[in-house]
Amino acid sequence: MPKLSARALTLLESFLAQPQQVGLGSISTLAHDHGVNASTLSRLCKALRFDGFKTFQALFREDLADSSFYSSRAQRLIGDGEQSTPASAMAPEGALYQAEQDNVAACMDALDEATLEAACTQLLAARRVHIVGLRASFAAAHYLAYYLDYLREDVQLIASTAGVDVERALDLDERDCVVAIAFRPESRSTLAYARAAADQGTPIIGLTNHPRGDIPGLGNHTLVAPAAGPFFFNPMSTLFLLVEMLLSRLATRLGQDAINRIRRREALIARLGVE
């Protein structure tokens, strides 16, 4: 077992949380992004018994080319397929329930009041709010966009289904705000949109399950939704909890204005008979 310094372990943990960055970046870019010399990365690779950085990077590139992230987790959940024990007995509902309880507890323990308040302030002050969260994160993005639109104007859900993608970020600037939702494995389209917006000075609010992922690196404010446990997809309980916290705090801060907007929306729905 190689012996690594505390700094090297932190660096390695950061790499494991950002496989795309390691797989696609050069050694000089990675060193610059992490505030170290390229020689530090070379020594880390040698300490891990790789021939050099290229050999180390090849593992991350294989991971990027491999689309079996979820199936690998499913395999761990159900076993190797040679046992006759049903999956429900190996990972009963009680285990999933306990894992979600632990995730919620971890979310509340790690929740930073100042970050939550700053995110709400940003959402209230922004001229326009774009919400992007694709693939598995789309449900939470839609949920947030739908109910945030009850509370304020100019809320846009970014969805690639209609050919709407990164180009929508071209009109954004520092007066706007982007909420980027990305769980590992982070959607490249979500990251591309957040990067394009950040490059134009747009504040980014990140919702993620990986505090060392790419989204926190772009975000002005990041809320972390722990998602550990035996479930082979990403557990979403904590993500929706954070969304509800944001919406509740926004409604509280808006006060009667929020109630008036919701009532107008309800009146329109009733008049049109759409529900």
pLDDT of res. 232? 63
pLDDT of residue 87: 43
Residue 205: what pLDDT?
96
Q: Where are the domains of the chain?
A: 6-65, 109-272
59 Cβ neighbours under 8 A, 6+ residues apart: none
pTM above 0.75, yes or no: no
Contact 198, 180 (CB under 8 A): no
User: Looking at domain 109-272, which of 3.40.50.300, 3.40.50.2020, 3.30.70.100, 3.40.50.10490 is its CATH number?
Assistant: 3.40.50.10490
Which contacts of 207-211 are long-range, i.e. CB under 8 A and separated by 24 or more positions? 207/133, 207/140, 207/179, 207/180, 207/181, 207/182, 207/239, 207/242, 207/243, 208/181, 208/182, 208/183, 208/184, 209/183, 209/184, 209/234, 209/238, 209/239, 210/17, 210/183, 210/184, 210/186, 211/17
Residue 161 is predicted with a pLDDT of 64
CA–centroid distance for 10 within its chain: 20
Per-block average pLDDT, block size 10, for the chain (275 residues)?
A: 78 76 79 87 88 82 52 49 44 74 88 94 96 89 94 89 68 93 81 90 92 80 84 80 95 92 86 77
Check if the beta carbon of residue 201 is closer than 8 Å to that of residue 217. Answer: no
pLDDT at 251: 93
Indicate if 109-272 has the same CATH topology as 6-65: no
CATH fold of the domain at 6-65: Arc Repressor Mutant, subunit A (1.10.10)
Return the pLDDT at 92: 62
